[in-house]
Amino acid sequence: MLRIIDRYLARELAGAFASVSLVLGFVLFGGLMADVLNRVARGRIPAGLLLSQVGLRSLDALSMLLPLGFFLAVYLAYSRLYRDGEAGVMAASGVNNGGFLKPVLWLALPLMSLLAINTLYWSPQALAKADQMVREANRSLLVAGMEPGRFVDLPGRYGVIYVGEMSDDGTTFKRLFVQHEKEDRVDIVTAASGKLYADRQGRERFLRLEEGFRVEGSLSAPDFRSMRFATNDVRLPDSEEGSGKRAESLRTGDVLLASGNASDRAELHWRLGIPISVLVLALLAIPLAHTRPREPRFGAGLIAVVGYIVYSNMLAAGRGWLAEGKIPMSLGLWWIHAIVLIIALLMYWSRTRLPRPKAVT
């Protein structure tokens, strides 16, 4: 009987987790897509890297999605059991409090292992690969979408660019035409040849044009000016400097473990805390889902959301305190997990204990 109930509870948890993760995944994917599209529109990331950038950065976002998804799944699945009276029937059939905990552990332990591998290795490697792809793309006009023989919109600007021939690596070209508009002024540049280069810091990109003409003026007045040049540099939109993440977030777990830097050690404590938070949040969700008759339906749900926000913000603040040396590194973030775990156990005990019988007078 217990094995059938265990499978039923595990199936309910798995279904709730899949549904919640699907919804959160759509929200996450939409946010990532909007962010990358914004950078593409500003010319910071080549359009050809749109899907690869979203895919690689999604691995980093899983560290936030999976703990929250499992927390909500446990709460929603078990709160439905209490609301529909199934939990009471199970308790009357001999399912004790540990019977509700066992299926949670069945799903939490594999999820914790997956998150540990992702946060320590897959996610930093994916972010580093995404940055490398953008840096390499910014050194090639081919990857930036400027194909020979085609008119291409200037990234982040109002205008077009055309090149007749281009080298295999996309750094040199011949027969270039650039037309740029700003308000009522137009700027047209032609060149026999040229090349793409970056400044010493690698942040700004330029097209060095050779043997060409430039015509500029207003469309509303006949005041066009023409000039001929031997060399002329045209600045392209700023390249993307990276994923915007801290440098330590691009390092794998073994590198962080071998490092003695405070920021690296704080980052390691943060990453180890992500899979631990799955189990802590699951233990917190079980007593929150335990509702008694006539209790508000969404009261515990609001407490659950607030509890998750406070817990995650405490971990983020603790990482900053560790990096700044405000708390000892030996303490790490374990004290935050311990506080939330004690609160979860106290709530679990208070929710599941039976009241003492009153003396009859």
Cα-to-chain-centroid distance, residue 349: 36
pLDDT of residue 338: 93
Ranges of residues in the chain with a pLDDT under 70 are 1-2, 41-44, 94-98, 138-147, 154-158, 199-204, 236-245, 292-300, 351-361
pLDDT of residue 184: 75
Are 185 and 216 in contact, with CB atoms under 8 Å apart? Answer: yes
Domain ranges of the chain: 2-137+244-352, 151-235
pLDDT of residue 280: 92
Cα-to-chain-centroid distance, residue 44: 18
Which two three-digit tokens encode residue 268?
């390691």
Alpha-carbon distance of 200 to 202, in angstroms, equals 5
Distances (CA, A) of 273 to 26, 63, 253: 25, 10, 13
pLDDT of residue 80: 84
Alpha-carbon distance of 225 to 207, in angstroms, equals 21
